[in-house]
Amino acid sequence: MSDSPDPATQPPPFHLLAKPTGSTCNLDCAYCFYLGKEALYPGVRARMSDEVLERYVRQLVEAHQGPEATISWQGGEPLLMGLEFFRRAVALARRSARPGLAVAHTIQTNGTKIDGDWARFFRENGFLVGLSIDGPRECHDAYRRDKRGRPTFDRVMRGLSHLREQGVEWNALTAVHAANADHPAEVYRFLRDECGARFIQFIPIVERPDRGGVPCGDSVTARSVSAAQWGRFLTGVFEEWVRHDVGEVYVQMFDVALANWYGEPSGLCVHSPTCGTALAMEFNGDVYCCDHFVEPGYLLGNIGERHLAELAGAPRQRRFGQDKLDRLPRCCVACDVLFACHGGCPKDRFVVAPDGEDGLNFLCAGFKAFFAHVDESMRAMCALLRADRAPAEIVARYRESDAVATTSGAAATLPGAAEALPGAAATLPGAAATTSGKAAHSPGDSSDRRQT
Ligand code: SF4
Ligand code: SF4
Ligand code: SF4
């Protein structure tokens, strides 16, 4: 095995989700796509050894030539490893990092195991915590249950209270599915007002039947969100957000859209032209092309045999990422909102397009509806950015417009939208196109997550 990366194969900047417990979890969420991955490692206790941990941390920092590297943990449920494991990881990172390299730590958790000790540890070590919560009790408990079928809402809220008490940085990760998709405003207000979330990721559940850990067929389960529901959900949340919270609450999908309208990289693989820089690693050091392709056909190799930098930069991985663009169906290539959508995630491209071609995204109709709905607002926010003004000014415009509509009984139009420039994807220098002025901020930064 090579101990250090071959400089000739330095990968592009990448993000890796490490799964120290593999698919092992204390919950049994009905829509979980990862529990079935235990079929890939039959009869093996999925638990990252100290040897793999040490190799992983060292290789990860070696593979990052820039000023920053992020160590991201996910699952299954990573907290099942216990606090000592993560203390070792932090200490290893400190020892392995070359001078000048800042190492960040993120973890995605179902939250049920978080107590005061965990929360203190997260705060002391600057962890960014992604917490899975699907909305108010009825929405959350519909599918997020434990192994005995018991609801988990109260345990998650208790975990959250520890995070908030300690002032830990955290994000809400909310899966959107049949049980909450028709309640966008209620879900959003709950996250904002009752949880205090300031960073929110919404993830559509598109769940296909699974065989041996590999999704197959073109039908989806009744738990899945439909394309139309996904569009309506995003639109419903947007209508609330744009009137109250621009610049205050970061909703990943809206900042991703704004970046695409502005002509800057969006930072989210799903709505970028190519992908392939968000890898996943199982407990034993096996590295896969993506969290959504932890399948035998997408195994790049093991870090015990090849350095992580070589695996991340392998031609096969580059091809995986390039295929997102090269395999777009014709109707995407001709689509008006391709600049914003980029065909969505390849894992969801399993329906037949109107012209009979395979490989259209299951969520296509929802994407189209949402992007059409926000076009005027996105243009207005881009115009504000170009004028060196804050996108949050749009909130006041909406309020004025609503007030006029209420008085006159006319349909609300957005004042100021006319000053927005035509041409959706002008590439401009200047301020980063974010609604809050803050950088995108998530344990799943460069990839969306279905399971946590
Ligand atoms: S989540 Fe989808 S879009 Fe992102 S890297 Fe994986 S396959 Fe590509
Ligand atoms: S909206 Fe539909 S047709 Fe357009 S790029 Fe997205 S998936 Fe393709
Ligand atoms: S969705 Fe997350 S918390 Fe739920 S069973 Fe899967 S890994 Fe566990």
Give the mean pLDDT of 275-285: 97
Is 16's C-beta closer than 6 angstroms to any atom of ligand 1? no
pLDDT digits (tens, 9 = 90+) for 17-33: 999 999 999 999 999 99
Those residues whose C-beta lies under 8 Å from the C-beta of residue 65, and which sit 6 or more positions away, are 10
Q: pTM of the prediction?
A: 0.91
DSSP alpha helix (H) spans, 133-282 = 137-141, 153-166, 184-189, 227-244, 252-262
Catalytic residue among 245, 255, 291, 375: 291
User: What is the best residue among 275, 325, 361, 442 to mutate for testing ligand 1's pocket, by most ligand atoms within 8 Å of CB?
Assistant: 275
Closest ligand (CA of 38): 3
Q: Cβ(364) to ligand 2 under 6 A? A: yes
Q: What are the backbone angles phi and psi of residue 16, rounded to the nearest 5°?
A: -135, 135
pLDDT digits (tens, 9 = 90+) for 409-448: 765 556 544 333 322 222 222 334 667 554 444 443 333 3
Q: Is the CB of 451 under 6 A from ligand 3?
A: yes
List the residue whose alpha carbon is closest to atom 2 of ligand 1. Answer: 345
Question: Is the N-terminal amide bond of 313 cis, ω within 30° of 0?
Answer: no
Cα dihedral: 392, 123, 55, 452 (round 10):
-60
Reported as a pLDDT band with limits 50, 70 and 90, residue 10 is: confident
Average pLDDT on 31-50 reads 94
291 included as an active-site residue: yes
Question: pLDDT tens-digit profile of 287-321?
Answer: 999 999 999 999 999 999 999 999 999 999 999 99
Q: Which long-range contacts (CB under 8 A, 24 or more apart) does 350-354 make?
A: 350/208, 350/217, 350/218, 351/218, 352/218, 353/329
Q: What are the structure tokens assigned to 77, written together?
A: 């449920």
327-383 per-position pLDDT tens digit: 999 999 999 999 999 999 999 999 999 999 999 999 999 999 999 999 999 999 999
- Please measure the distance between the N-terminal and C-terminal CA atoms of the chain and give it in whole angstroms: 31
Q: Is 292 in the pocket of ligand 1 (CB under 6 A)?
A: yes
Separation of alpha carbons 144 and 39, rounded Å: 22
| Rounded mean pLDDT, 165-181 | 98
The band of 91, judged by pLDDT with boundaries at 50, 70 and 90, is: very high
131 lines ligand 3 (CB under 6 A): no
Tell me which residue of 334, 327, 369, 333 sits closest to 348, measured CA to CA: 327
Beta bridge partners of 131: 109, 172
Q: What is the DSSP letter of 145?
A: B
